[in-house]
Amino acid sequence: MSESSELRLVCFPHAGGSASYFGPLARALAPGVETWAMQYPGRQDRYREPLLDSVTDLADAAFMALRRELRAPYAFFGHSLGAVVAFEVARRFEQLTPQGPVRLFASARRAPSVAGQADVHLRDDDGLVQEMTRLGGTDTAVLADPELRALVLPVVRADYRAVENYSPSAGARLTCPVSVLVGDADPVTPVSDAAAWDLHTTKGADVQVFTGGHFYLDWHTAAVASAITRSL
């Protein structure tokens, strides 16, 4: 983080993800943008806290934590599950505080109104691991170790339950612009589904496509940081 930065970017992780995932992006954005990262309950330094398994609960908790600390100007960046959590937190800020975010960056996630797979959280452990392997983003050594799997899978399952049961309020739209970032080979977020974020803002949405899959960000950190800086 940079104390000289005038603008803050609050980042929201993917299913099973944690705040530390955004370390490389934070370093790439410094010193011009100060990066904050949300830590959902049940992981890393919050591993003793009960998991939250709905987007509403995740968004309510994040909003309550942020409204005490966050000062304008600020923007939100959400990856996968984090994109819809960020969307809901942004709605709360717009509705309940004097000033909402200047922009939402929705990464690797179809628009809230576009239906997708809804059964991953119902699969057995092997099925859940198969999906995580398909998407990438998780160290295969973690998935192969029975003790580590026992720690990780309940968190991932709760996050999948949250995002797969999520349904936005009818007509839910932001009054800030949305920048959509997506990989051209993402198996769960086709570019056309990501572009539908335009339906959820009164200020329009732009789409930026990168080479790669669901975790394209791992390979394009510098390019994503440049895109964020240009947009802000």
Phi, psi of 168 (to 5 degrees): -70, 155
In our burial notation (b when 16+ CB lie closer than 10 A, e otherwise), range 39-48 reads bbbbbeeeee
* DSSP letter assigned to residue 45: G
Kindly give, in sequence order, each residue whose CB lies less than 8 Å from that of residue 54, ignoring residues fewer than 6 positions away: 161, 162, 165, 166
- 171, 64 in Cβ contact below 8 A? no
CA 15 to each of CA 33, 58, 67, 153, 214: distance values in angstroms, whole numbers, following the listed order:
25, 12, 23, 10, 12
- Catalytic positions are 80
**Side-by-side strand order, sheet with 33-37:** 33-37, 7-12, 74-79, 104-107, 178-183, 205-210
- 113, 184 in Cβ contact below 8 A? no
